[in-house]
Structure 1
Amino acid sequence: MPETEPWEYTLYIPNDVRAVTVSRRTLRLILTVHGLIGLVDTAELLASELVANAVRHTKGPAALRVCWSGGVLRIGAWDTDPGPPEPPGELERLGDAEEGRGMALVRACSDLWGWQPLTRNGNRGKYVWCELTSAA
């Protein structure tokens, strides 16, 4: 049974491709402990795409943020590039393309997504987020 009280976690990660796996496994543990196992598979996919973009397209550190409030799970990634993410294409049109599917997957698999410029600890960057609504 999912919790009704809001909660939030932030995982600070280095610019390292292994951060995607660490983020995904950490997210799975958080959601399992909070009784949100039904959201794990989709949430892992979304977090993987957001963190992979943060690590692949920037040079600095990043952070994964996971929040639960009012039956909505928000997953976001902060990175040091203040520019907007690439606009998502149509998933069907991307086919077997090696690049460019990340934000299309985020748009297709989440209930809502967006981004905003953000400053953290004196560093400029952006925060890209998406939301999943619990069916429970």
Structure 2
Amino acid sequence: MAATERPAGSGHPRYAETHPRRVETAAIGRRLVRAALTAWNLDHLTERGELVMTELVANAVRHTSCPTVRLIVSRPADDRIRIAVVDRAPARLPVVREAGSDDTCGRGLLLVDTYADRWGYDRMGTRPGAPWGKAVWAELQAKDPG
């Protein structure tokens, strides 16, 4: 797949790539997060950002059947980073589950909730009542720890 790196001429800077909806795409998402945060001198957010991207990709892989996902790392404000995964399954909305102690899955959004400052989803599409997909996103505050 062709990668699209777009520090936008208008709007806010972002890095975005489209890849097959596969488990291996999480590693590509982590590299995208690392590259964006390094470019923005926000290396202190890398570990949290990589974990969030991994969990968002894992949820798209597990809970949708679309062939591709779009990975996005953007900076909508100087003090905010947004990590998003877009898929074409608008009816499969993210739900935080309470996993049992023996469960091997079901903790992804709990981790996102823990490591992100806020998270949510947006339905994608211009026709009311007929979205073509959704973006599940998480935001990290971009404060310098120093």
Q: TM-score higher than 0.5 here?
A: yes
AA aligned opposite 1:36: L
TM-score (norm 2): 0.78
Runs of 5+ unmatched residues, structure 2: 1-10
Count of aligned pairs between the two proteins:
128
AA aligned opposite 2:117: D
* Cross-structure match for 2:96: 88
Take 1:19 and 1:33, find their aligned partners in 2: how far apart are those partners? 21
Matching of residues 1-136 of structure 1 within 5 Å: 6-60=12-66, 61-68=68-75, 69-89=77-97, 94-119=100-125, 124-136=132-144
Which runs of structure 1 show a deviation greater than 6 angstroms over 4 or more consecutive aligned residues?
A: none
Structure number with the bigger relative contact order (C-alpha 8 A, sep ≥ 6) is 1
**Richer in helix (by share):** 1
Take 2:27 and 2:120, find their aligned partners in 1: how far apart are those partners? 23
What SS does structure 1 have at the residue aligned with 2:132? strand
Q: In 2 relative to 1, CA 124–6 (structure 1 residues): closer, same or farther, beyond 3 Å?
A: closer
What percentage of aligned pairs have identical amino acids? 34
AA aligned opposite 2:97: G
CA RMSD of aligned residues (A): 2.1
What SS does structure 2 have at the residue aligned with 1:16? coil
What SS does structure 2 have at the residue aligned with 1:51? helix
What SS does structure 2 have at the residue aligned with 1:74? strand
For residues 69-128 of structure 1, the C-alpha deviation after alignment (integer angstroms, 9 at most, x for no partner) is: 2210011110111124342135xx6445211111111111111111121139xx811111
Take 1:94 and 1:103, find their aligned partners in 2: how far apart are those partners? 14
TM-score (norm 1): 0.83
Runs of 5+ unmatched residues, structure 1: none
